[in-house]
Amino acid sequence: MIFAAIADWADAKEYPVEFMCVQLGVSTSGYYAWRSRPTSSHDRADQTLLRLIGTLFEELKGNPGVRRMHAALAALGHRAGRKRVWRLMKAAGLQGRHPRAWKRTTVAGDRPVPAPDLIGRDFTAKKPNQRWCGDITYIKSWNGWVYLATVIDLHSRRVVGWAVADHMRTDLVTDALKMAITHRRPKGKVIFHSDRGTQYTSRGRPLLPT
């Protein structure tokens, strides 16, 4: 398949054959021997896919990887396994951009509101709506990072409130809390445990059921 990629670039007169063979670690004689052989139907299909992959790689922003390329080909009606797409992209020297494996979600504010730890590392509850726990996580989407705030009842471990946004402002966590309050309608006091990130320690209006 490396020879097929060289042939495509050679036909387009982008690089000299000798230069490409040296850079890709193959022999020039091997390339010309391959070129002189009759092309199989499988190789012709690979060459068609390779040209389409090159076009899609330019059109899709953000340096698409194998999974995104596979989905784009499927959307156009081309049936190709992920391993085949990976092989063709590797032969063409196309590599997706890999984002950082983590993002920092706990950022202390300049003037955080002090709050004691009321559960003392005991993440259990004897009854519903006694202790809730909140956190923020992040998800990589095709359009960028998406942030998810959740509220979990420590009695059942059930998510009772959540919110999704493209930011980590205080509204993200208050929207999740509003959902929990609206759905559960707690009759008594509820302990809400979270980290000390600025979203949880900033000053805001009290959240009351509507």
CA-based end-to-end distance of the chain = 64
Predicted pLDDT of residue 159: 94
Angle at Cα 196 formed by Cα 192 and Cα 198, nearest 5°? 105
Most confident residue range from 78-82, 93-97, 129-133, 168-172: 129-133
Predicted pLDDT of residue 204: 59
Weakest-pLDDT range from 19-23, 42-46, 111-115: 111-115
209 pLDDT band, cuts 50/70/90, is very low
Selected residue with higher pLDDT from 152 and 49: 152
Residue 119 pLDDT > 70: yes
Predicted pLDDT of residue 83: 85
Measured distance CA(137)–CA(51) in Å, rounded: 38
In this structure, the answer to whether residues 112 and 82 fall within a common structural domain is: no
DSSP string, 137-156: EEEEETTEEEEEEEEEETTT
Predicted pLDDT of residue 109: 54
Residue of 87, 93, 99 whose CA lies nearest to 45: 87
| Domain-ending residue, one of 52, 67, 92 | 92
Q: What is the DSSP letter of 12?
A: T
In this structure, the answer to whether residues 67 and 152 fall within a common structural domain is: no
In this structure, the answer to whether residues 63 and 129 fall within a common structural domain is: no
157 pLDDT band, cuts 50/70/90, is very high
Domain span at 68: 2-92
Amino acid at 132: W
In this structure, the answer to whether residues 40 and 83 fall within a common structural domain is: yes
Tokens of 92: 């063409």
132 pLDDT band, cuts 50/70/90, is very high
Report CA torsion sign: 76, 78, 82, 84: negative
Measured distance CA(119)–CA(131) in Å, rounded: 8
| Domain-ending residue, one of 63, 92, 121 | 92
Residue 176 pLDDT > 80: yes
- CB 209 within 8 Å of CB 187: no
In this structure, the answer to whether residues 50 and 75 fall within a common structural domain is: yes
In this structure, the answer to whether residues 6 and 86 fall within a common structural domain is: yes
Residue 75 pLDDT > 60: yes
| Domain-ending residue, one of 92, 115, 133 | 92
Selected residue with higher pLDDT from 100 and 36: 36
In this structure, the answer to whether residues 148 and 86 fall within a common structural domain is: no
The predicted model scores a pTM of: 0.48
Q: Across the chain, what does the average pLDDT equal?
A: 81
In this structure, the answer to whether residues 197 and 180 fall within a common structural domain is: yes
Selected residue with higher pLDDT from 139 and 38: 139
Residue 56 pLDDT > 50: yes
Burial of 114 (0-12, 13-18, 19+ CB in 10 A): exposed
Weakest-pLDDT range from 67-76, 81-90, 96-105, 124-133: 96-105
Ramachandran region, residue 143 (left: φ > 0; alpha: ψ -120 to 50; beta: rest): alpha
Number of domains in the chain: 2
In this structure, the answer to whether residues 120 and 158 fall within a common structural domain is: yes
